[in-house]
Amino acid sequence: MPNLTKLLLSGLSLLVTSSLLAQQTASGIPLDAPWKQTVYDFVAENQQHTAWGLEHSERDYLLALELAESEGLELDLDVLFAAAFLHDMGAFEPYSAGGDDHSQVAADSMAEVLEPAGFPMEKLALVQGAALAHMYYSAVPNEPHAQVLHDADTLNFLGAVGITRIISLTTREGLAQDLPTAIATLENMSQQLPGTLVLATSRQLGAERSSEMRTFISALRAQSAGGRAL
């Protein structure tokens, strides 16, 4: 009987472990370590936003993986996960209260989330470096995590998803204070952002997504009296 009890307990432990390993985000990103679940829950609770919230982080992670595979870059998935999900935390209260650049605030603050979650803190510098370089206007070091996150984040301002993000901000942010301003922002992004991309694969995708935006803007203007009826 003791041996049977031990066997049952061992089986239960394996089931629990297997259940934990089977957890994933809505888009299928594995939550295969307890700290990832903690970080994901933190973002889900504190970073809800149509343009740079939880879903944006998921898209950044997935696209960064695609870019790395296409470019033959080796990534540490712990670093990529932490950077993708926390790079915009500086844009949310209470971290945004000081008005400083949100990339710097994120880099300075993310240890507050990662360390108690159990993240392997010897990798923190790489996460911080990627967060600091994620914006399209940022200088990008010759480091793969920073490169793929920068390009993924920039590409998320382009194409159909970029259009959706900016229009979702209408009346909420200065770059989209009304629909004409939002469309002007999209037009500027379609012209300026592709030139900030670092990787060859990214530049190809950037050209394709910019073309999508121009097609959309052209159709919108044709359907709104040249944009005068927006």
CA 167 to chain CA centroid, nearest Å: 18
CATH code assigned at 202: 1.20.58
Other residues' Cβ atoms within 10 Å of the Cβ of residue 8: 10
CA distances, 120 to each of 77, 78, 116, 123 (Å): 12, 8, 10, 6
Domain that holds residue 34: 30-138
CA distance 14 to 70: 36
Residue 10 has pLDDT above 90, yes or no: no
Whole-number pLDDT of residue 164 = 98
Among the candidates 109, 138, 167, a domain finishes at 138
Q: What is the DSSP letter of 225?
A: T
Alpha helices in the chain (DSSP H): 2-22, 34-46, 54-71, 77-86, 102-109, 111-117, 124-132, 144-155, 159-168, 179-192, 200-222
pLDDT per residue as tens digits for the range 96-139: 988 889 999 999 999 999 999 999 999 999 999 999 999 999 99
Whole-number pLDDT of residue 99 = 81
Whole-number pLDDT of residue 3 = 52
pLDDT per residue as tens digits for the range 141-180: 999 999 999 999 999 999 999 999 999 999 999 999 999 9
Phi, psi of 29 (to 5 degrees): -75, 125
Taken in order 99, 103, 109, 113, the sign of the CA dihedral is positive
DSSP class per residue in 206-223:
HHHHHHHHHHHHHHHHHT
Q: Do residues 122 and 91 both lie within one domain?
A: yes
Q: Torsion angle of alpha carbons 89, 174, 203, 66, nearest 10°? A: 30
Q: Do residues 36 and 123 both lie within one domain?
A: yes
Whole-number pLDDT of residue 145 = 98
- The structural domain count of the chain equals 2
The reply to whether 18 falls in a domain is no
Please name the residue that has the structure tokens 């194409």.
159
Whole-number pLDDT of residue 98 = 83
Q: Do residues 37 and 133 both lie within one domain?
A: yes
The reply to whether 13 falls in a domain is no
Whole-number pLDDT of residue 172 = 94
The reply to whether 85 falls in a domain is yes
Judge whether 43 and 54 are in contact, CB under 8 Å. yes
Whole-number pLDDT of residue 166 = 98
Computed on alpha carbons and rounded to an integer, the radius of gyration of the chain in Å comes to 20
Judge whether 126 and 145 are in contact, CB under 8 Å. yes
CA distance 193 to 186: 10
Q: Do residues 35 and 130 both lie within one domain?
A: yes
Whole-number pLDDT of residue 143 = 98
Whole-number pLDDT of residue 22 = 55
CA distance 196 to 14: 47
Q: Using pLDDT thresholds of 50, 70 and 90, give the confidence band for residue 45.
A: very high
Give me the percent of the chain exceeding a pLDDT of 90.
Answer: 88
Taken in order 182, 185, 187, 189, the sign of the CA dihedral is negative
> Which of 134, 116, 111, 120 is CA-nearest to residue 56?
134
Average pLDDT of the residues of the chain: 92
Residue 5 has pLDDT above 70, yes or no: no
